[in-house]
């Protein structure tokens, strides 16, 4: 009986060693993948900051004003002036929300018909 127990124990240890070996390499691969993703994120963030700087450079008001003046014949762009904007009094605000009607607010003639009948 002891030799069988020794063989089963040996097989269990070998199985656990194989599992630990595979987990070790899977973990190392996952760490490499995370490292690669972090490098890619850093590269993309740097690229995004460069693109934001270029966008800010290209959208300078004096540059846009000059381009609008140069291409006025083709595009007909006009510069923005204060008189082109409306005042706050011209803004149409949404109506007040509906008020909740409670049964105490109703008068006897407000509702017609029986329950289930169309009003």
- Where residue 106 falls among pLDDT bands split at 50, 70, 90? low
CA pair distance 24, 16, nearest whole angstrom: 12
Q: What DSSP assignment string belongs to 24-64?
A: HHHHHHHHHHHHHHHHHHHHHHHHHHHHHHHHHHHT-HHHH
- 44-85 confidence digits (pLDDT tens): 999 999 999 999 999 998 998 888 888 888 888 777 787 888
**What is the pLDDT, as a whole number, of residue 93?**
80
pTM reported for the whole predicted model: 0.50
Say what percent of the chain tops pLDDT 90: 50
- Where residue 109 falls among pLDDT bands split at 50, 70, 90? low
pLDDT mean over 27-36: 97
């Amino acid at each position: 009986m002891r030799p069988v127990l020794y063989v089963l124990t040996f097989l269990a240890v070998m199985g656990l060693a194989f599992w630990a070996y595979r987990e070790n390499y899977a973990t190392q691969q996952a760490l490499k993948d995370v490292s690669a993703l972090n490098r890619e994120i850093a590269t993309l963030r740097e690229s995004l900051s460069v693109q934001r700087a270029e966008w800010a450079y290209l959208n300078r008001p004096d540059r846009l004003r000059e381009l609008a003046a140069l291409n006025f014949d083709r595009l007909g762009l006009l510069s923005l002036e204060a008189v082109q904007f409306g005042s706050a009094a011209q803004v149409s605000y949404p109506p007040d929300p509906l008020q909740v009607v409670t049964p105490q607010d109703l008068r006897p003639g407000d509702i017609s018909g029986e329950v289930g009948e169309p009003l």
